[in-house]
Structure 1
Amino acid sequence: IHGVCQSDGCQGNEAEFFMKCASHPTSDDDLSVALDLIMTNSRDVPCIACTDIRDVVLVFQCSERHVICLDCFRGYCQTRVSERQFMYDPVIGYSLPCAAGCPDSLIKELHHFRILGDDQYGRYLQYGAEECLLRSGGLMCPSPGCGAGLFPPEDSRRVECDRQLGCGFVFCKNCREGYHEGACPTELALNRTTSSAKC
């Protein structure tokens, strides 16, 4: 926001605003993120999902500016987390578009997904981290109960899960079974099936 600073000797002409939560005491350097899509429904626009008119709504960034009430938005987010249907964007991260499916409408401020609550938001963060890992060429340890994120060596099929992060399981990068020499069991089974089909 442009303006003129009224302090003696200052030539500043831009103001910077910081949001703070009013519900609990915070230190001076503790900041809260502004959730710019959550607004007062002063025009009484009905929710696109339940058609109720609520006082506080979320307005998507699509060209139609679709409105959804916070209860329906929470349900939309919970369903998408459960189905692992959040979308990955290299700039924004793991996000959702307008509930009506409008193009170019991904939510840019990811703190809006705190509406999920601590447990579901934790799942959202975990799935987002896994998606980032997989897109970066990493993989997850296949050992039951582990799932540590790893970046395997490119020149070898042998992968060892780091004991500081995970379980120490040694496995084949190609088939995710315990490490072995020679062809993977799935390749051998496929070759046997192909050979018998030719006979």
Structure 2
Amino acid sequence: VSHVLQGPRCPEFYMKCASHPTSDDDLSVALDLIMTNTRGVPCIACTDVMGVVLVFQCSERHVICLDCFQRYCQTRLNDRQFVYHPVIGYSLPCAVGCDESLIKEVHHFRILGDEQYGRYLQYGAEECLLTTGGMMCPSPGCGAGLLPPDGSRKVECDPRLGCGFVFCRLCRGEYHEGACQAVTAPPTGEAAQVNKTIS
């Protein structure tokens, strides 16, 4: 713990982890929803009373243990059920579904671990891109995020960031003039194909 005096009566305190050294200029994010369970409130999921819990920002202040919170986040991530908010980002509400309870500090989702947190960041970026009118390159194995100009059917995946594929904005197939011909397989998985005209 260190402190800095700013002005005659304005101390600021900083907590730093000794296991993860950082420079003096680095700021750490406070995970204000994770608290010591001094009142012995049971977890809303498993009903165990744990020493450290996450307290949601809902008016009911629901409590969930960190193991159950991690499982809640993982399940919602697997089902792509995080909520995109234009100010907060990609977040989750209280596990009970309370109104106005989105977690505002998204670093709480680091509980997912490095690999799953990476998925979380990717899904959040994709959701933000799609919400702002962007699209993903449809070329297999690419998926680069694109913000094509409005009104143009011809879209090129930037070869510096993606694969360079040029495709039709409407049908996502290789770029063409005229009406789109989308080819889709029937739900039975048979080899036959069905043509559908897209206007």
TM over 0.5: yes
Residue in structure 2 matched with residue 150 of structure 1 by the alignment = 146
Query: Which structure dedicates a bigger proportion of its chain to helix?
Result: 1
Unaligned runs of 5+ in 1: 1-6, 192-199
- SS for the counterpart of 1:77 is helix
The amino acid across from 2:196 in the alignment is A
Deviation of 1:153 after TM superposition, in Å, equals: 1.9
Residue in structure 2 matched with residue 131 of structure 1 by the alignment = 127
Deviation of 1:190 after TM superposition, in Å, equals: 4.4
The amino acid across from 1:52 in the alignment is D
Instruction: State the alpha-carbon separation in 2 of the partners of residues 11 and 22 from structure 1.
Output: 28
Query: Which structure dedicates a bigger proportion of its chain to strand?
Result: 2
TM-score, normalised with respect to structure 1: 0.87
The amino acid across from 1:92 in the alignment is I
Residue in structure 1 matched with residue 68 of structure 2 by the alignment = 72
Residue in structure 2 matched with residue 195 of structure 1 by the alignment = none
Identity of aligned residues (%): 75
TM-score, normalised with respect to structure 2: 0.87
Q: Is 1:84 aligned to 2:80, yes or no?
A: yes
Deviations 1:132-184 (A, max 9, x none): 10111110100011000111121320001000010000100011011111001
Greater Cα radius of gyration, structure 1 or 2: 1
Residue in structure 1 matched with residue 188 of structure 2 by the alignment = none
Deviation of 1:93 after TM superposition, in Å, equals: 0.6
Residue in structure 1 matched with residue 42 of structure 2 by the alignment = 46
Q: Is 1:175 aligned to 2:182, yes or no?
A: no
Deviations 1:73-124 (A, max 9, x none): 0000001111110001111010000000000000001100000000000000
Q: How many residues align?
A: 184
RMSD: 2.0
Deviation of 1:28 after TM superposition, in Å, equals: 1.7
- Asked if the contact 1:19–1:34 (Cα under 8 Å) also holds between the matched residues in 2, the reply is no
The amino acid across from 2:160 in the alignment is Q
Instruction: State the alpha-carbon separation in 2 of the partners of residues 16 and 138 from structure 1.
Output: 42
Residue in structure 2 matched with residue 36 of structure 1 by the alignment = 32
Residue in structure 2 matched with residue 196 of structure 1 by the alignment = none
The amino acid across from 1:136 in the alignment is T
- Asked if the contact 2:179–2:197 (Cα under 8 Å) also holds between the matched residues in 1, the reply is no
Which stretches of structure 1, 4 residues or more, deviate above 2 A after TM superposition?
10-19, 22-27, 186-191
The amino acid across from 2:117 in the alignment is Y
Instruction: State the alpha-carbon separation in 1 of the partners of residues 70 and 8 from structure 2.
Output: 41
The amino acid across from 2:141 in the alignment is G
